[in-house]
Amino acid sequence: MIRSTYTYVTMDVSPSTYAEIRKKLVDAQYHHAITGDGDEEVLDMHGLALTKEIPDGTILEVGDDSVTVKGVPDYLRDDAPCIVCLDCGRKSWSNLRGDICDMIQPNGSRCKGVFA
């Protein structure tokens, strides 16, 4: 019978760091990485590696005509390229150029304008 065991070294971290890592393990359903109870509880991160979290608003990629920002959808950026319906002025951040708008107007009718 082959039996596998391993040991680990513990490292004390601040309570807030511990709580943050524990929450991420639970959210990822890594319950098996949490062993012991109460003061004896440890986060056994065997096989896991920590990386720095990228905060929202960080520029991830710059292209010829676009910028990708973490946590900010392209269509919410002020400089996001958009197309506009020639009749009602509706803005769209999708690739609808040449399509019919079909936006419901305040009077209940549908716009028949074209996106340009």
pLDDT of residue 50: 84
Q: How many Å apart are CA 109 and CA 103, to the nearest integer?
A: 8
* pLDDT of the residue at 114: 76
Give me the residues of the chain with pLDDT under 50, please: none
| Per-residue pLDDT, 23 | 93
- DSSP letters, 39-53, are GG-EE--TT----PP
Q: Strand, helix or coil at 48? A: coil
Where would I find the H helices in the chain?
A: 15-27
